[in-house]
Structure 1
Amino acid sequence: MAVVYQASDLALGRSVAVKLMRFDAAGVAGSARHRDEVAVLAHLNHFALVTLYDAGVEVIDGAPRSFIVTEFVDGTDLRSHLLAGPMDPGEVARLGADLCEALHCMGALGITHRDIKPANVLLAPSDFPGRVVRAKLADFGIARLFDAAHRTETGAVVGTAGYLSPEQAGGLPVGPAADVYSLGLVLLECLTGNHSYPGTAVESAMARLQRQPEIPDWVDAEWRAVLTGMTAREAEDRLRPAEAAGLLRVLVPSVDAPSVEVSSVSPEPAAVGVREEDSATRPLDLPTTLQREVAPFVPTSTLHPRAAPATAPSRRPRRSRTSRRWSLVISGVLVAVLTAGAVLFVVPGADPPPEPPAYPAVDGQLGDHLEQLQESVDP
């Protein structure tokens, strides 16, 4: 029905998968199914589903050939993987949960895959801790909108006999529940390594109408409940994809984060020495008024507003420095005046002291201090 090639995307420099359809053998109905496949892939977006890159029609050897271009999964498929034997239950649970999520996304768009089997589950290597592979559901060549008009040839059964749901085997209408049933058979095969319904296509299809799939006694109760719910004979009795995904997530073992060794003793920070000869690096002696203004720590839950101080603490250092500056000025003037008076007092026969110099008027506290100083030294 189709041939798949690995190709290179020259524009983006990536590997892709190219699927060429053979409509000469399938006829008009096959062409219609191909158009369904393209429409399905274009609307689906989930990490457990292959991604569609391109689609179209190309003339090859004088005949039109439809094609689709999807992401290339560099790995194997589940059928080949199972040749080595059963899988780890935790890995099966993780794989099944991812695929159930994909089925949920499909069902939300009214899409049924109809041919879920190990060969259509692609496995890509995974670097995530505790995870071996990532699963991607592929081959939507028979996927279609189940509410749309049927385009399949009369009497044809779409799907693989060994994994058909009872309604598919009985020729009844199918929906998303059929995919849940088929996936349940796939997960059971992953756990046991055995095919639930072996034999010819007819024998396999008829067997599921007569009996339920056999679940070995060694399968634990949690797994048994999930598999039984997914493979119930009646479609309405089966688990929904989202329900099955939730139950399977519980069965996925937790992954411990890689341990990192951290030294329990941290090196003490080196003390910063202060050289006495370097006065520029010495600590400054701040006024004690600054320290008294620092409020003690109070927990947030008990913090209460307190009245603002009458004088802002941040202004005190400026006034203190200003007062010291004017004190120095006054002291200098006082020393000069006293020195002049002493000289006049000890020198005999000196002329009468001259009139005190007239200083410019100074306002404020400084002016008052200067006047007091002048009066104290006047003879």
Structure 2
Amino acid sequence: MNSTRAIGAVLADRFRLDRLIGTGGMASVYEATDAALGRTVAVKLFRNDSLDGAGPERQSGEIALLASLNHFALVTLYDAGTTEINGAPRTFIVMEYVDGSDLRTRIQAGPPLEPADVARMGADLAEALHYVHGRGIIHRDIKPANVLLGASGFPGRSMHAKLADFGIARLLDETRLTATGTLLGTASYLSPEQALGGSLGSPTDLYSLGLVLLECLTGERAYPGTAVESAMARLQRQPSIPASLGSGWSQLLTAMTSRDPADRPTAADAAVTLRALATTGLATDVPAPVDPSAAATELLATIDATSGVESTAAMPAPTRLLPAADDAPAPTLLLPVTPFTPAPPTAATVVAPVVAAAVAAPAAASAAPTAVPNAGGGVLRSPSSQPRAMPKRAVITGSIVIAVVMLGALIALFIATQTVQPVSPPPNYPAVDGQLGTSLQQLQESVNP
């Protein structure tokens, strides 16, 4: 059926087909106007003659599939239905209209895209694939014509990419809709397992995306020629990746186009690597989390290497601060006890111990160990190198104690120096005989002390 004959038709009394955008094997895409909302949309009108007899099932499957998806790098589905055009029933879907060209047109116009633009676009598409793969869906037809490029409007970025056409996508666990031996997809971008008619999974989309990114960077298809030539070529050789692209691109594209699906990265891994390439142009791996202790050891090693000092290979244990001296209990001073001696004390025995103890008390208090934190880094200094000044209150108290002790010493010294007066011998009276002498002797004895 001639696709241009549908132009001007109004679908569901709402969507007017204005111009033909493109035609594929199963449908034609039109720019259309949504009369109800006054906006431009894209209408995909399916053919009514299916090649393998599974057209209606595939069409309804695509409608339900698109309606369930919501991602910034996927074309959004607005509406769907069935209408009659020129006497024949036609299924259609109404989608978001992307104002721009497709990637195939951009590559053909040349020159090759900038690597940073390719990395950002590839990261968007890889994130979209991660999203659909997580829902058990594979696209199976990743190619430049199915990548729509819209204006970015963001400084430093000229475009953003959206993945379109899930017309031949299928659920991973669903029975195949294609007839035996029928290949769905574009020959130049088929994965090896698609070319061999094998079992498909999410890695097949990563292979096709790798070929698309390589073509964006070089401007040439990796496997040109007819469908048979292109399909056979990928079974015989790996795609040629120019060394001029750099090691980052070379490693990523080599992994994505590996013949063994198990060796290909996941869509999430590819997205992370492409984001790194878009930022640095060189990174291929996401930096591992940094171990703080390892980083500190490495830093010490670097400093040691610069200064010529051998590394200790480990961080020193943190210094623990002692409690401040003000918080510690005051020391108890014990004065020496002088035992009682019956013998008269001398000045030296009384004054020397008391004065020595009184003088030694303030000195002992001032010499007590005091923890002084180092303001530069928490290191404790020796008490001998940092003497602590005595508080004013302690100085006054010590002075009073010294004065009292010295006064007591002087009093003791005065008492000790007093001499004992000798007792005078009794008077010697002359002897008197008789009764008178006896009476005089008795009188003398009574007055003697």
Q: What's the TM-score bracket when you normalise by the shorter of the two chains? A: 0.5 to 0.7
**Equivalent in 136, 140, 161 of residue 166 of structure 2:** 140
Match of 2:89 in 1: 64
Q: Following superposition of structure 1 onto structure 2, how do residues 96-111 of structure 1 map, counting pairs within 5 Å?
A: 96-111=122-137
Say whether 1:251 aligns with 2:288: no
Equivalent residue for 2:356? Answer: none
Please list the CA deviations of residues 29-50 of structure 1 after superposition, one character each: whole Å capped at 9, or x if unmatched: 1121111211211111111110
Relative to structure 1, the CA distance from residue 52 to residue 92 in structure 2 (aligned partners, 3 Å threshold; closer, same or farther) is: same
| Structure-2 residue corresponding to 1:205 | 231
How far the C-alpha of 1:26 sits from its partner, in A, is: 3.1
Structure 2 contact 224–230 (Cα < 8 Å) conserved: yes
1:42 to 46, 67, 70: 67
> In structure 2, what is the Cα distance between the partners aligned to 1:233 and 1:24?
36
Distance 1:139 1:55 in 2: 14
2:255 pairs with 1:229: yes
Corresponding residue to 1:53 among 78, 90, 93: 78
In structure 1, how many angstroms separate the alpha carbons of the residues matched to 2:83 and 2:185?
28
Deviations 1:163-197 (A, max 9, x none): 00000001101111101000000000111111100
Superposed displacement of residue 27, structure 1: 5.7
**1:172 and 2:198 correspond:** yes
Work out which of the residue numbers 188, 191, 202 in structure 2 matches 1:162.
188
What residue ranges of structure 2 are gaps of 5+ in the alignment? 1-25, 281-449
1:274 is matched with which residue? Answer: none
* Mapped contact 1:36–1:145 kept (Cα < 8 A): no
Q: Quick one: which of 45, 49, 53 aligns to 1:24?
A: 49
**Quick check: 1:239 aligned with 2:265?**
yes
Q: Which residue of 2 aligns with 1:75?
A: 100
- Alpha-carbon RMSD across the aligned residues, in angstroms, is 1.1
Distance 1:168 1:27, change over 3 A: closer
Which residues in structure 2 correspond to 1:315-330 (within 5 Å)? none
* Residues 32 and 42, structure 2, Cα contact 8 Å, conserved in 1: yes
TM-score by length of 1: 0.66
Answer whether contact 1:100 1:242 (CA < 8 A) is retained.
Answer: yes
Deviations 1:190-240 (A, max 9, x none): 111111001110010011111111101111111111111111111111000
Give the residue type in structure 2 aligned to 1:77: D
Q: Deviations over 1:88-144 (max 9, x none)?
A: 000000000000000001101111111110111010111111111110111111112
CA contact (8 A) 1:16 1:70 kept: yes
Deviations 1:40-79 (A, max 9, x none): 1111111111000011111222221111000011100101
Contact 1:142 1:158 (C-alpha < 8 Å) held by counterparts: yes
Q: What does the per-residue CA deviation read over 1:319-372, in whole Å, with 9 as the maximum and x for residues that have no partner? A: xxxxxxxxxxxxxxxxxxxxxxxxxxxxxxxxxxxxxxxxxxxxxxxxxxxxxx
Mapped contact 1:7–1:16 kept (Cα < 8 A): yes
1:2–1:19: 8 Å Cα contact kept in structure 2? yes
Please list the CA deviations of residues 288-320 of structure 1 after superposition, one character each: whole Å capped at 9, or x if unmatched.
xxxxxxxxxxxxxxxxxxxxxxxxxxxxxxxxx
Larger Rg: 2
Structure 1 gap segments, 5+ residues each: 255-379
Specify the alignment match of 2:30 in structure 1: 5
Identity of aligned residues (%): 62
Equivalenced residue count is 254
Partner SS, residue 150 of structure 2: strand
Structure 2: how far apart are the matches of 1:27 and 1:11? 36
TM-score calculated relative to the size of structure 2: 0.55
| Contact preservation (8 Å) 2:83, 2:89 | yes
Query: Does the 8 Å CA contact 2:52/2:178 hold for their aligned counterparts?
Result: no
Instruction: Report how far residue 23 of structure 1 moved.
Output: 2.4
Question: Which amino acid letter does the alignment assign opposite residue 268 of structure 2?
Answer: A
Amino acid at match of 1:220: G
Letter in 1 for 2:124: D
Which amino acid in the other structure matches residue 138 of structure 1? A
| C-alpha separation in 2, matches of 1:153 and 1:38 | 21
